[in-house]
Each structure stands twice: as C-alpha cells, then as structure tokens.
Chain A
Amino acid sequence: MAALCVCSARQGAAALRSSSGLLALRYVQTAAAAAPAVQPRIKKFQIYRWDPDTPGDKPRMQTYEVDLNACGPMVLDALIKIKNEMDSTLTFRRSCREGICGSCAMNINGGNTLACLNKIDTNISKVSKIYPLPHMYVVKDLVPAYRWMIDSRDDYTEERLSKLQDPFSLYRCHTIMNCTRTCPKGLNPGKAIAEIKKMMATYKEKKAATA
C-alpha cells in the first residue's frame, strides 16, 4: 500500500502539491485498504420452471445461486440477474420495476406479491421459493395467463349492486382477510367488500321505498 502511494506521488507530482491532489492520494489509500475483505453472500433461489414448447417437459423446481453483494435488493433484481448471467431461458413478466404496473406478480415464499417490491430475505441459510400465482393457468415458468374480465365502469351503482344479488358473487367472501394481508400496495379489498355488503343491505330498501 505504501508503494502505491509512492508511485502515484511520483506520477502526479505536480498535482499533489494542490490540496485536491492530497485528497485523491488519501482516497486511493483507503480504497485499497477496503478491497480484499468482503465475503460473497450466496443466496439460493428455488424457482418453478416449465416450458410447454419442450416436448415432455414436466414442471420442476430449479435452484440458482446469487451473490447478494452483486445484486439489487429486490427479488426482481435477482430474477433479472439470473436471466442475464446464468439462464436466459428463465421467463417472467416485468415492466415498471417500481410497484405500479403489476406485471411481476408472483408467489414468493408462500405469499403473493410483486417481485419488484419484495425485498430479498438476506438470511443466507434460507432458500427463497418462487412460484407463479396460485389458482391461475401458467403459460411458461412464472408467467400466468390472465382471463378477460368484464369492465363494470360503464354501469350505474344500483345495476352493479343488483348484479351481485345472488349467493355466489359477493357472498363467497367469508372475511378471511388473506387479500388485505397479501396486498403489496397496502390496499384493503377486504374492507371494500365489507362496505359493499353493507350497501347491499340498504339499497334494496331504497328501491322498495321508491317503488
């Protein structure tokens, strides 16, 4: 390290006479001192894989090892790193990488979240398990198939509520509250549904009163 200082002193002799030169020299010293000490933190990711285009391929779990010192903090960072450096066939959806678009929704360690918002658990002794969203068709690896849903924005309140008046749509909710617990954006669908149930109890009376 002392040799390093002397070398740069000889080469940058003119610059060293200024105070910024001395600062630069000190920086080089400390940077060299810090360099050899850091151990790699290897985290294992166990990821669901399935390729419909490979004949006879069965769904399986594949394990990848990632050095957390060379990776961003979120699970999506790890997935991108794996795809770029280790296995380019790993397939997943992603877009905004900031928790707005919803593309990277998947099941991480038993909970449904967005990969771009889910911090990698830095406990190296645990394996991170990544699956596609449960109860959805899987197109390939971590990519779910979304079915077309009816947009109800063009209906009026009463018509919307009357559409829910059957034992199946609204009343299949049993207030288990898994929805609110897993929401990666901090929304509360459980409360919203409870409020709809309250609306269902009162709107019919209004309708009967006006009839």
Chain B
Amino acid sequence: MPGTRVTMVTVSCRWSVPMAMSITHRGTGVALSGVFSPGISVFAVAALVLPGSFPHYLDLIHSLSFGPALITLSKFALSFPVAYHTFNGIRHLVWDAGKGLKIPEVYGSGYTVIALTLLTSLALTAL
C-alpha cells in the first residue's frame, strides 16, 4: 500500500550440516581455483613448463628444513580441499541428475562425503 512504512530485519538462519557443507564446497572451490593462492591451474602449468624433474623439486623442499609439523600441516591443507571438493562435487552431480534430493538422503550423502574426505585426506597426508 502506498505510504506504508516498512523496515527490514536480519535473522541468522540456524546453521545445519547441509548448509555448512554447501558453503565449504564454495570455499574449497575458491581456494583451489587460484584466486587467493596458487591453484590447480598454476600447478598444472608449472608441472608442464618448469625445467627440473620431480625428484629435483622434492630435494629442494627437503633442503628448506621445514619442521615435520609444518610438512604434515601443509600436506593436509592441500589434500583436504581437493578431497572434499571432489567427493562433494560427485554429490552435486548426483543432485543434477535429480537423485538423492530427499532431506534424509541429503544428510546421509553429506555424512558419507565427510567420512570419505577425512579418510582420503588423512591417507594422503600420511604418505
């Protein structure tokens, strides 16, 4: 109605596992893309272009004398986004096919993605 005064309210929607997983998918996606740090593309081009071999670069990293804690942390920080975004990406593709969109299925597939992510990233970190 013309002349009616209105206002706006902000209420935080209560957090849920599916909501948190959705924003994490976006976060890991941005992190991997290379917007804020060297991403998958830079790594791929570097692997193609840089002259040295893999053992050469492995020795280079060893010579930098990072502590074991930092090495492990870095390995986890790299493997976690790759694993999470890959498994949740498959979950998204299943949704695009129209399957698994009932709420119990969304939660079930969500917990499965979390479990697979942790197993995979911990396994890759332990290599």
Contacts and interface: CB of A to CB of B under 8 A. Distances in A.
B106 interface: yes
Interface in A108-141: 109-112, 131-132, 134-139
B107 to A, nearest CB: 9
Interface stretch (A9-17, A28-36, A152-160, A172-180): A172-180
A194 B98 contact: yes
Nearest to B106: A177
A92 interface: no
Interface residues of A, number: 32
A181 B95 contact: no
Interface stretch (B14-22, B36-44, B52-60, B62-70): B14-22
A163 interface: no
Interface residues of B, number: 24
Nearest to A182: B13
B22 A138 contact: no
A145 interface: yes
| Interface SS of B by simple majority | loop
A195 interface: yes
Contacts of A103: none
B46 interface: no
Interface of B: 4-14, 16, 18-19, 22, 92, 95-98, 101-103, 106
Interface of A: 48, 50, 52, 59, 107, 109-112, 131-132, 134-139, 145, 174-178, 180-181, 188, 190-191, 194-195, 197-198
Given A52-B7, A59-B7, 20 more contacts: A48-B9, A110-B14, A134-B10, A137-B6, A138-B6, A138-B7, A138-B9, A145-B6, A175-B95, A175-B96, A177-B101, A178-B13, A180-B102, A181-B18, A188-B102, A194-B96, A194-B98, A198-B96, A198-B97, A198-B98
